[in-house]
Amino acid sequence: MSLAKPILLVGAGALGSSILKGFRVQGHVTPSDVMILDLKPGEEAQAYAADGAKLNPLPEIWHSAKTIILAVKPQGWHAVAQILNGNIDKAAVIVSVMAGVTTTQLKQAFAGHPTARVMPTTGVATGKGVASLYADTVAGMDAARGLFAPMAQTVELADEDQINSATAVSGSGPAYVYAFVRALEKAGRANGLSYSHARDLARGTLISAARLLDETGEDPEALIKKVASPGGTTEAALNILCKPGEGLDELILASVDAAHKRSRELG
Ligand SMILES: NC(=O)C1=CN([C@@H]2O[C@H](COP(=O)(O)OP(=O)(O)OC[C@H]3O[C@@H](n4cnc5c(N)ncnc54)[C@H](O)[C@@H]3O)[C@@H](O)[C@H]2O)C=CC1
Ligand SMILES: O=C(O)[C@@H]1CCC=N1
């Protein structure tokens, strides 16, 4: 797994900062390996600069970058491509984490550069994210792996179109899980728990359930059976939550379909 440095990160917002945190946690990229371009650098970008990263360096310096991560919004990336072009090394690998922007579009904007697409989760910040990778060249896939394999469980996609599905399931997925925790917390309060107890119980339930999923490797179905006693409280809840035809399965399917559709539109 080879990762060519220095790295130029364009966009250090929610995801860009998570990537920077993941570099720090895993140590595979150090602040001195990094240049950051951001119009409004936040806390993490500033902390990197304090530790030796170059923050908003002059364009002359961008030429030294061997790997360039594009982490701006899909709506703003054309402006970034215009600014970068002519100021970057022809061999630099372009790694896009942007939803929707296709390899064809990247290659039009960055002619001659190897490219890769990655759909990470913000969980890379802890060194334990999830990332789907797609590249049509060895150089592109090497860069994507080198950046993300140390801080994420990676899935390598052979078909670029599947990155839209990966975006809808895992890129956006953490927000679905947080929405569930929020709903459980609200329901706890509605059922008489104090604010702090409802909060602790909802969060703790997610974290302990996720640990079991991870540590046992068991299917959700088997784990559900271990919680739900026949005729018990869980079954009473699941009869509503998973009501055939109008329960969670249908709601998640419709939600993922909507995200998938939006991912295609963003390109
Ligand atoms: N937030 C997430 O969970 C995920 C986001 N993504 C993708 O990551 C990309 C970034 O998303 P977020 O980090 O959520 O957005 P964000 O809005 O938090 O961050 C974007 C950053 O880009 C900077 N920026 C904008 N225009 C710029 C320019 N011309 N030059 C330099 N910096 C510029 C902004 O100041 C901001 O800090 C998007 O394309 C999104 O599709 C992908 C997977 C997950
Ligand atoms: O909401 C979005 O468009 C981005 C892509 C996946 C997660 N956040």
> What ipTM score was computed for the predicted complex, to two decimals?
0.99
Residue 163 and residue 42: Cα distance in Å, rounded?
Answer: 28
Question: Please, what is the Cα angle at 123 between 118 and 126, to 5 degrees?
Answer: 120
CA dihedral over 193, 197, 203, 206, signed as positive or negative: negative
Q: Are both 37 and 155 inside the same structural domain? A: yes
Residue 223 and residue 261: Cα distance in Å, rounded?
Answer: 32
Q: Are both 186 and 211 inside the same structural domain? A: yes
Annotated binding-site residue? 97? no
Closest atom of ligand 2 to 175 CA is 7
Which of 62, 70, 72 gets mutated to test ligand 1 (max ligand atoms within 8 A of its CB)? 72
**Nearest-CA residue for atom 31 of ligand 1:** 38
**Nearest-CA residue for atom 32 of ligand 1:** 38
Q: Are both 162 and 180 inside the same structural domain? A: no
Residue 122 main-chain phi, psi, to 5 deg? -65, -15
Which ligand is nearest to the Cα of residue 38, counting in written order?
Answer: 1
Give, in order, the Cα–Cα distances in Å from 124 to each of 13, 109, 120, 157, 253: 14, 27, 7, 19, 25
Check: CB of residue 15 under 8 Å from CB of residue 167.
Answer: no
* pLDDT digit string, tens, across residues 219-264: 999 999 999 999 999 999 999 999 999 999 999 999 999 999 999 9
**Within a domain: residue 2?**
no
Check: CB of residue 142 under 8 Å from CB of residue 2.
Answer: yes
Which ligand is nearest to the Cα of residue 74, counting in written order?
Answer: 1
Q: Are both 239 and 157 inside the same structural domain? A: no
Q: Are both 220 and 141 inside the same structural domain? A: no
Annotated binding-site residue? 21? no
Q: For residue 226, what are its two tokens?
A: 């271990």
Range of the domain at 130: 7-166
Q: What is the pLDDT along the chain (267 residues), one digit of tens a residue?
A: 679 999 999 999 999 999 999 999 999 999 999 999 999 999 999 999 999 999 999 999 999 999 999 999 999 999 999 999 999 999 999 999 999 999 999 999 999 999 999 999 999 999 999 999 999 999 999 999 999 999 999 999 999 999 999 999 999 999 999 999 999 999 999 999 999 999 999 999 999 999 999 999 999 999 999 999 999 999 999 999 999 999 999 999 999 999 999 999 998
Among residues 123, 138, 166, which one ends one of the domains? 166
Closest atom of ligand 1 to 11 CA is 22
Closest atom of ligand 1 to 15 CA is 13
